[in-house]
Amino acid sequence: MKPSSNRSIGIAMSSRFLTAAALLMLPALAFSGQTTVAETKNQPADIKSTSAKERPQIHVEKRTPAYWRVTFENPPFNIFGPETIPQMEKVVKEIETDPDLRVVVFDSAVPGFFLTHYNFTPPLADSTSLPAGSTGLHPLPDMLVRISKSPVVSIALIRGRATGVGSELALASDMRFASREKAILSQWEVGAGFVPGGGPMARLPRLMGRGRALEVLLGSDDVNGDLAEEYGYVNRSFDDDKLDPFVDALATRISGFDRQAIADTKRLVDFASLPSDPEIGAGWDAFISSVQRPVAQKNIGRLMEMGLQTNTDIEARLGHYTGTLAEK
C-alpha cells in the first residue's frame, strides 16, 4: 500500500486500516495527522481514480411534475463516496423545495446493486472538507434525516444489494419494496468489529421489533427479499417482474393526490414513528468510537486483502465473507 499523496505521513499500517474503516461510513471524520487514504494495489482504475467527481452518479427523471425517479448509477458496485455527497445533497434539496413534487422513487441502474457501502479510496480531505448539513449532523446522516422528514413521499425500489449506506437509505425512506429473487439487505458492520453509523439502530427496532433488529444488526448477515418482508425490513417483496409495475402504479396513484393532505398525513405519522436527531447522532458517535478499536482496523484490513471494493464476489456475498472474520 502507498498513500495517495506524495508527502510522507509516517503512519503505522494499522492506522491506515483505521482510516479505511472509518471512511466506509463516515464522510466527515478527521484523524489527527492523517490526510490520505491508502490504496489497494489491485484496485481497478475506474474505482481508484478520483476523477469520478465529475461523473454523474445520480440521475433524476421527472416522469411528471409530481413524480420523480432518482436512480443511482456508479458501476460496478454502486459504492457511495464523498464524490457522491454533493450530488445527493443537490437532489435532496430539490426534493425539499420543489412545490409540485409529491413522490420520489429511489432505484438503481447497476445490475445486482441498489446502493452499497461508503467509498474509502479517495483522499480523506475529500470527505472532511464537506460541511455539516442543516440538522447539524454529518452530511450523510443529515441527508437521510431530511429525506425522512420531507413532505414528499419517498419509496425505495430495491433490486440487488442494499448494504450499509444502501440499507440506511432504504430505512430512511417512507416505504421499501424489494425483489423477491434479487434483493439483499444488510447491516454488516458489527461483523467487521464496529457500530453502524447511519441510523439503523434507531430505525430498525421501530420497524421489526427489538429482537429481530438485534438479529439483523448483530448477525451482520444478508437478508433476502422474502425474509425482509417477513421481518418488516421492507413493506413487501415481489416476484422480480412484478416489482416495477407495482411501485410505478403506487407512486403514480399517490402523485395524483392533494399535496397538502399528503404532507400533513406524513408529518403526523412521523411524530409517532421517526427517531429523533439525537438518536441518530448517538449512533454516529458510537461508530466513531468503535471504528478506532484494533479489531475493526484488523478486520477491514482483512476484507481489503480479500478484495473489498475490487472483487465482485466479495461485494455480492459480503455477508458470507464478513462471517469468515469471526473468531473461532
Quick one: which of 79, 86, 74, 82 has its CA closest to 126? 82
Task: Rounding to the nearest 10 degrees, give the CA dihedral for residues 150, 119, 318, 242.
Answer: 40
- The whole-model pTM stands at 0.83
Return the H-helix or E-strand segment holding 200.
helix 200-208
pLDDT tens sequence for the chain (328 residues): 333 333 222 222 333 334 444 444 443 333 323 322 223 333 333 334 344 556 899 999 999 999 999 999 999 999 998 889 899 999 999 999 999 999 999 999 999 999 998 776 765 566 667 788 899 998 889 999 999 999 999 999 999 999 999 999 999 999 999 999 999 999 999 999 989 988 999 999 999 999 999 999 999 999 999 999 999 999 999 999 999 999 999 999 999 999 999 999 999 999 999 999 999 988 877 877 787 789 988 998 899 899 999 999 999 999 999 999 986 5
Q: What is the pLDDT of residues 221-242, one digit of tens each?
A: 999 999 999 999 999 999 999 9
**Hey, what domains does the chain have and what are their CATH numbers?**
13-323 (3.90.226.10)
Give me the sheet containing 103-108, strands edge to edge. Answer: 58-64, 67-72, 103-108, 153-158, 175-179, 236-238
Quick one: which of 209, 92, 202 has its CA closest to 139? 92
